[in-house]
Amino acid sequence: MKINLKELKQKTVDSEDYSFNARFSDELLLPFRGRFSGPVNVELHVESTGKVFWAAGDLRTGVVFECARCLEEFIFPVNIELNFNIADTVYRNDFTEEEVVFVSGDELDITSYLEEEILLSLPMQPLCDENCQGLCAGCGANLNLESCRCSEKEIDPRWEKLKQLKTGKEV
């Protein structure tokens, strides 16, 4: 994703709006065992404030995760507010890298900046719902959808016979 700052740099405009709808590689999400549910939408407004360009906007996409508790797949919505400053590398001595994103030339590739923002927004332990009941450790039932079957486990007929002897009842 590249934003062209030519007009802003030449001061023919004071601000510029950018809109992207791009596919990001799922490789980015491998450490999180996730994948993108669709494209990454970015709306960005950039204003010239002299030496520095001020950029603000938002990024929206979704990531498909496997819930850490119930193992069902779900889409985690990613909504990130973007807010950063851009300065030309000629001002490298005036700013630190925490303050601005440096650009040399007219085009700024914001892909890695956005990738970092996405990674920072993702949960380490993705949950389909905060109240996800997870799976029963005994019978494996998804407790969000069904009840535990542990007590219904098939009883060995020999034990059943023993129970009858003990209680003295006939079936």
Binding site for Zn ion (CB under 5 A): 67, 69-70, 128, 132, 136, 138-139, 148, 150
Nearer to Zn ion, 124 or 171 (CB): 124
Q: Which residue has the tokens 């000629």?
A: 90
Q: How far is the CB of 65 from Zn ion (least distance, A)?
A: 10
Nearer to Zn ion, 72 or 117 (CB): 72
163 sits in which H/E element? helix 157-167
Q: How far is the CB of 149 from Zn ion (least distance, A)?
A: 6
Q: How far is the CB of 64 from Zn ion (least distance, A)?
A: 13
Q: How far is the CB of 124 from Zn ion (least distance, A)?
A: 15
Nearer to Zn ion, 28 or 63 (CB): 63
Helix ranges (H only) for 81-145 are 111-121
3-state SS, residue 20: strand
Q: Which residue has the tokens 């990130």?
A: 80
Nearer to Zn ion, 32 or 84 (CB): 32
Separation between Cα atoms, residue 22 and residue 24, nearest integer Å: 6
DSSP string, 33-67: T-EESSPEEEEEEEEE-SSEEEEEEEEEEEEEEE-
